[in-house]
Amino acid sequence: MREQLIHEILMARQRVYAVTGPTPLERMPGLESGVEIFLKREDLSPVKSYKWRGAYNRMAVLTPGERERGVVAASAGNHAQGVALAARKLQTTATIFMPLSTPRAKREAVRELGGDAVRAVVTGDTYDDASAAAKACCAGEGKVYIHPYDDLMTMGGQGTLADEIVMSGQIPFDAAYLQIGGGGMAAAVATWLRLYWPGIRLIGVEGVDQASMSAAFAAGRPVALDYVDVFCDGTAVKQAGELTYPLCRDLLDGIVTVTNSEVSAAIQSLWETSRCIAEPAGAMGLAGLRKDTANLNGKRALVIVGGANLDFEQLAIISRSAGIGAARRRYFRIRIGEHPGELLRVLDTCFHDINIIEFQYGKLEEEQAWPVIGVEALPGELERFAGGLAERAVEFDDVTGAEDVEYRIIHYRARLMRHPLFIHLEFPERPGALRAFLSLVRDRANVCYFNYTSTGERVGRSLIGFEFSDEAQQREFRRFLPESGYTFREIGEAALSRIL
SS (H, E, C) 57-101: HHHCCCCHHHHHHCEEEECCCHHHHHHHHHHHHCCCCEEEEECCC
Residue with the larger pLDDT of the pair 435 and 482: 482
Q: Are residues 136 and 219 in the same domain?
A: no
Q: Are residues 175 and 223 in the same domain?
A: yes
Q: Are residues 123 and 236 in the same domain?
A: no
Average pLDDT, the chain: 91
Q: Are residues 306 and 355 in the same domain?
A: no
Indicate whether 102 pLDDT > 90.
no
Q: Are residues 84 and 231 in the same domain?
A: no
Indicate whether 107 pLDDT > 90.
no
* 474 and 421 Cβ atoms separated by less than 8 Å: yes
Strand pairing report for 355-362 and 421-428? unpaired
Domain that holds residue 134: 53-152
Domain boundary among 305, 325, 345: 325
Q: Are residues 186 and 41 in the same domain?
A: yes
Query: Mind listing the pLDDT tens digit for each residue in 205-260?
Result: 999 999 999 999 999 999 999 999 989 988 989 999 999 999 999 999 999 999 99
pTM above 0.85, yes or no: no
Q: Are residues 481 and 359 in the same domain?
A: yes
Residue 195 makes CB contacts below 8 A (sequence gap 6+) with 6
Residue 330: closest CA among 256, 255, 381, 286: 381
**Given this model, what pLDDT does residue 419 score?**
95
What is the Cα–Cα distance from 267 to 193, expressed in whole angstroms?
25
Q: Are residues 178 and 97 in the same domain?
A: no
**Given this model, what pLDDT does residue 31 score?**
67
pLDDT (mean) for 332-355: 85
Per-residue pLDDT band for 129 (boundaries 50, 70, 90) equals confident
Indicate whether 325 pLDDT > 80.
no
Q: What is the CATH number of the domain that holds 398?
A: 3.40.1020.10
**Given this model, what pLDDT does residue 431 score?**
74
**Given this model, what pLDDT does residue 467 score?**
94
Q: Are residues 179 and 244 in the same domain?
A: yes
Indicate whether 339 pLDDT > 90.
no
Count of domains forming the chain: 3
**Given this model, what pLDDT does residue 155 score?**
97
Query: Mind listing the pLDDT tens digit for each residue in 156-169?
Result: 999 999 999 999 98
Per-residue pLDDT band for 442 (boundaries 50, 70, 90) equals confident
Query: Mind listing the pLDDT tens digit for each residue in 389-419?
Result: 888 888 999 999 899 998 899 999 999 999 9
Length of the chain: 500
Q: Are residues 243 and 335 in the same domain?
A: no
Domain boundary among 267, 299, 325: 325
Q: Outline where 168-207 has alpha helix (H).
A: 184-196
Per-residue pLDDT band for 198 (boundaries 50, 70, 90) equals very high
Q: Are residues 23 and 172 in the same domain?
A: yes
Indicate whether 76 pLDDT > 80.
no
Domain boundary among 293, 325, 357: 325
Indicate whether 4 pLDDT > 80.
yes
**Given this model, what pLDDT does residue 49 score?**
95
Q: What is the CATH number of the domain that holds 146?
A: 3.40.50.1100
Q: Are residues 100 and 231 in the same domain?
A: no
DSSP 313: G
What is the Cα–Cα distance from 118 to 81, expressed in whole angstroms?
10
